[in-house]
């Protein structure tokens, strides 16, 4: 259906959504996403509440140069050189609820995963998971886009420890939610046949009851993207439907990363492998400015320069609302460079942008 190739960058939940969309392409219509670069992710925040919190502290978002989460602190670096630190516990109240039940720290189903934990300041930790990811990294090294060296034992131990902490803590939250009759469907053990049978019974109203109302929606935008008659819309907070579903359509339920997920896509056994399945892990650098080693941006530039993909799907910044993340589908090197850096709030990734092409 798509005769172009797109590389995407996203949080683990967004990467899982893309994986489901492509795996069930006969039902969802598929996507042009050909390469998935996942980011490590402990939690994410609401843009509205983050903005309000900072305004209460007399900080204007437009005066902020960079955000960073380090050593249990939320660090705000201002353009005037000042640094303001808050304890993570202080901003926990506007962490998104859905993040409490997420057990994927390092984007287990990506081709390549990138984060900072495990590497020295200014470098990125790079996990290669698939043969496709391996070839791209090896070629990007040969072409001088990135450099890599082995991760230290200490770095890897730290990374495993933090991933384990997320998994264990959130598995406890999942047990509590399930005990109080709030389902966490994506963690239920289902095989492929069960997944298909269950999902074929469901439409948007089930998605609303099972995911959205239960505080499990990650705002990935997959439901909006796959809807063949464009009746799903996402505004600031949650997806909603305007109109009647097509008979026999189950696309949104199949695509959503928080409905059932079959063991073949995201095995529950990964909970015992804090970093998921992988081929190798490196400390990586580039000469591009980014949140950490600029490795994500540099890999994307390599993919575009060498025409390995037609465009890339990144998360940029809304020009009228500083630090507000917006999804961008682009083949402009400038836009990819500008998108570098982490925006610590959720963005409906806007898979829809791919559809309107």
Ligand X SMILES: Cc1cc2nc3c(=O)[nH]c(=O)nc-3n(C[C@H](O)[C@H](O)[C@H](O)COP(=O)(O)OP(=O)(O)OC[C@H]3O[C@@H](n4cnc5c(N)ncnc54)[C@H](O)[C@@H]3O)c2cc1C
Binding footprint of ligand SF4 on the chain (CB under 6 A): 11-13, 17, 41, 43-44, 96, 98-99, 102, 104, 203-204, 207, 211-212, 217-223, 226-227, 229, 231-232, 239, 241, 245-246, 249-252, 255-258
Report, in Å, the least distance between residue 122 CB and ligand SF4.
23
Q: Which does 344 bind (CB under 5 to 8 A by kind): ligand SF4, ligand X, none?
A: ligand X
* Phi, psi torsion values for 77, nearest 5 degrees: -105, 125
Q: Which residues bind ligand X (CB under 6 A)?
A: 9-11, 39-42, 44, 114-117, 124, 290-297, 314-315, 325, 339-344, 347
Report, in Å, the least distance between residue 67 CB and ligand X.
9
Q: Find out whether 128 and 277 touch, Cβ atoms under 8 Å.
A: no
Q: Which does 129 bind (CB under 5 to 8 A by kind): ligand X, ligand SF4, none?
A: none
What angle (nearest 5°) sits at the alpha carbon of residue 15, between those of residues 12 and 16?
Answer: 90
Give the C-alpha separation, 18 to 10, whole Å: 10
Output 246 or 289, the one with its CB closest to ligand X: 289
DSSP letters along 216-243, please? Answer: ------HHHHH-TT--EEE-SS-EEE-S
Q: Which does 212 bind (CB under 5 to 8 A by kind): ligand SF4, ligand X, none?
A: ligand SF4
Q: Which does 293 bind (CB under 5 to 8 A by kind): ligand SF4, ligand X, none?
A: ligand X
Output 99 or 300, the one with its CB closest to ligand SF4: 99
Closest-CA residue to 105 (of 170, 47, 36, 50)? 170
Output 208 or 324, the one with its CB closest to ligand X: 324
Give the E-state strand segments of the chain in sequence order: 6-10, 33-39, 64-70, 73-78, 83-87, 112-115, 124-128, 146-150, 232-234, 239-241, 280-286, 311-317, 325-330
Q: Which does 229 bind (CB under 5 to 8 A by kind): ligand SF4, ligand X, none?
A: ligand SF4
Chain centre distance of CA 305: 24
Output 78 or 231, the one with its CB closest to ligand SF4: 231
Output 23 or 298, the one with its CB closest to ligand X: 298
Report, in Å, the least distance between residue 232 CB and ligand SF4.
5
Q: Which does 245 bind (CB under 5 to 8 A by kind): ligand SF4, ligand X, none?
A: ligand SF4
Work out the widest C-alpha separation in the chain, in whole angstroms: 58
Report, in Å, the least distance between residue 107 CB and ligand X.
10
Closest-CA residue to 102 (of 225, 219, 233)? 219
């Amino acid at each position: 259906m798509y005769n172009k190739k797109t590389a995407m960058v996203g949080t683990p939940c967004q990467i899982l959504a893309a994986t489901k969309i492509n795996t069930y392409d006969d039902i969802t219509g598929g996507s042009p996403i050909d390469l998935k670069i996942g980011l490590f992710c402990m939690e994410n925040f609401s843009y509205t509440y983050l903005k309000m919190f900072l305004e209460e502290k007399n900080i204007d978002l437009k005066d902020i140069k960079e955000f960073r989460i380090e050593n249990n602190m939320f660090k705000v670096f201002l353009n005037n050189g000042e640094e303001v630190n808050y304890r993570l516990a202080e901003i926990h109240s506007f962490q998104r609820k859905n993040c409490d039940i997420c057990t994927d720290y390092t984007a287990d189903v990506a081709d390549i995963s990138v984060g900072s934990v495990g590497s020295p300041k200014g470098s990125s930790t790079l996990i290669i998971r698939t043969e496709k990811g391996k070839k791209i990294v090896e070629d990007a090294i040969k072409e001088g886009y990135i450099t890599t060296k082995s991760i230290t034992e200490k770095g890897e131990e730290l990374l495993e420890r933090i991933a384990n902490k997320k998994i264990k803590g959130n598995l406890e939250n999942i047990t509590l939610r399930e005990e109080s009759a709030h389902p966490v469907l994506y963690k239920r053990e289902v095989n492929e046949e069960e997944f298909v049978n269950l999902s074929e019974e469901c439409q948007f109203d089930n998605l609303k009851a099972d995911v959205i109302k239960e505080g499990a929606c990650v705002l990935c935008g997959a439901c909006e993207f796959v809807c063949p008659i464009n009746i799903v819309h996402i505004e600031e907070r949650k997806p909603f439907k305007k109109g009647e579903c097509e008979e026999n359509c189950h696309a949104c339920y199949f695509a959503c990363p928080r409905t059932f997920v079959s063991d073949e896509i995201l095995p529950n056994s990964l909970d015992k492998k804090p970093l998921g399945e992988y081929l190798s892990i490196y400390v990586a650098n580039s000469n591009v400015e980014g949140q950490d080693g600029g490795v994500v941006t540099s890999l994307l530039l390599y993919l575009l320069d060498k025409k390995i993909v037609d465009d890339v799907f990144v998360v940029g910044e809304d020009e009228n609302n500083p630090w507000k993340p917006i999804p961008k589908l682009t083949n402009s090197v400038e836009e990819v460079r500008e998108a570098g850096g982490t925006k610590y709030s959720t963005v409906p990734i806007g898979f829809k942008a791919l559809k309107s092409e």
